[in-house]
Amino acid sequence: MNTRDTQCQFTVAPTELASALAQGAALSLPGALINGKCENGGGGQHFVLDPVTGSAIGEFHAATAVQVEKAAKAAARALPSWKAKNRLERARVLRAIADRIEQAHDELAALQRHNNGKPAGEAEVDVLDVINTFRYYGDVCANMKNLQVEDLDLGVASYCAQMHYEACGSVALIVPWNFPMVTTAWKVAAALAAGCTIVLKPSELTPVAELALANLIHEAGLPPGVLNLVFGSADTGRALVSHPGMAKVSFTGSTETGVAVMRECAQRMARVSLELGGKSALIVCADANLNLAVELAVSGAFCNAGQMCSATSRILVQDSVYDEFTSRLKAAVEALKVGGPDANMGPVISARQLEKILGYVARAHADNIPVLAKGHLPEDTPPGFFIAPRVYADVPHDHPLWTEEIFGPVACVRRFSTYQQAVQIANDSQFGLVATVVTENSEAAKTMSDGLQAGLVWINAPQMIFPGTSWGGFKRSGIGRELGVAGMRAYQEMKQVLRTA
Q: Which residues are catalytic?
A: 275
What's the rounded Cα separation, in Å, for the pair 25 and 50? 12
State the Cα–Cα distance between residues 296 and 329, nearest whole angstrom: 10
C-alpha distances out from residue 53 to 122, 198, 233, 384, Å: 18, 34, 22, 4
DSSP string across 275-293: E-----EEEE-TTS-HHHH
Find the length of the chain.
501
By the 8 A CB rule, do 98 and 131 touch? yes
**Rounded to an integer, what distance in angstroms lies between the CA atom of residue 93 and that of residue 134?**
9
Task: For residue 482, list its beta bridge partners.
Answer: 471
Task: Compute the CA torsion angle 110, 115, 120, 121 (nearest 10 deg).
Answer: -110
Task: Say which amino acid occupies 390.
Answer: R
Q: In a 3-state reduction of DSSP, which class is residue 447?
A: helix
**d(Cα 259, Cα 476) in Å, to the nearest integer?**
9
Q: For residues 284-323, b (16+ Cβ closer than 10 Å) or e, as one string?
A: bbbebebeebbebbbbbbbbbbbbbbbbbbbbbbbeebbe
238 burial level (CB within 10 Å; 0-12, 13-18, 19+): middle
126's enclosing H/E stretch is: helix 120-143
Please give the full DSSP string across 231-280, using - where no structure is assigned.
--SHHHHHHHHT-TT-SEEEEES-HHHHHHHHHHHHHHT-EEEEE-----
Q: Which 3 state secondary structure label does DSSP give 320?
A: helix
